[in-house]
Structure 1
């Protein structure tokens, strides 16, 4: 268990039933390997809503609106179109660098991606946050689970995410079928 996941377990106890995934199948469908901390996060919490604001996406989520694979496919297409009219963030200027597989979103429409750099294994990917209807991006040199734990405990602050996040008393819900 990562330190970040241990911190999350202190913030919100894990649901009693773990989520099992065929990660080989998920990664084949995405066309990319995923970080181990994300897989562990999903196994423990599943697709989830944190502080009634941030949604962690899950492959084959019971709530189809938060399916990682569907979101990743659509956002990849959207970003390809976006780069034709907007300048890429500085973190994406280096050859072979890209954002991949949106892993979280918010109720306002902000998107959280992994930043993939050539030669870096998935466990070393960091987080990029994109504002909902604009061209502002932020880079956080932490894993997705570290980002979530640090955002919830106030250690990490974003200029893009809502100033009302996190809540003083944390709320967690596992996403279920609708």
Structure 2
């Protein structure tokens, strides 16, 4: 079951970005050749480019130069396609079925990917790669389910308990 924005809002707080123009998403998706999952788009449209618990960074495609989802994805695709980095992931990065699309980072060294489903009717899954080791974890959950688990302090590779002792919070990226 896909977690809902209202469940995330109950833990993270009310969103203040509330983007409604689909143009940046359409442009980015056409450039990359992939359509992002609706739950990911809904969360990013609601909150914009933010830092969650001072640890997890999400960016919006309409973000400025410092915090642009498109810019970050392009840089991350180049980085993870390098021969010596590709071995740290379970599959190649890119827009094709089974490939990984980099969508978020963490101050603690993790990279968060969405795994493009093999079948268009299948859900996207989350893969988290730990930069300080060659380890990665596939989570059989949608992005919203994974984010909700993170906000609840569950171990989804990024652990928020020590970063959010008073509960989850976010702030806009400068």
TM-score range, shorter chain: 0.7 to 0.9
Which SS does the other structure have where 2:113 is aligned? strand
Q: SS of 2:20's equivalent?
A: coil
Residue 114 of structure 1 is matched in structure 2 by: 114
Which residue matches 1:142? 141
**Which region of structure 1 is more displaced relative to structure 2, 74-83 or 137-146?**
74-83
In the comparison of the two structures, how many residue pairs are matched?
A: 167
SS at match of 1:104: strand
RMSD: 2.6
Deviates further, 24-33 or 44-53: 24-33
Per-residue deviation, residues 46-92 of structure 1 (Å, max 9, x unmatched): 11111111111221313x33321112112112222146772642xx3
Equivalent residue number for residue 79 of structure 1: 80
CA contact (8 A) 2:88 2:136 kept: no
Structure 2: gaps spanning 5 or more residues: none
Q: Give the alignment's TM-score, normalised by structure 1.
A: 0.80
TM-score, reference length from structure 2: 0.81
Verify the 8 A CA contact 1:126 1:140 in the aligned structure 2.
yes
Following TM superposition, the consecutive aligned residue runs of length 4 or more in structure 1 with deviations greater than 3 angstroms are: 82-85, 162-166
Unaligned segments of structure 1, at least 5 residues: none
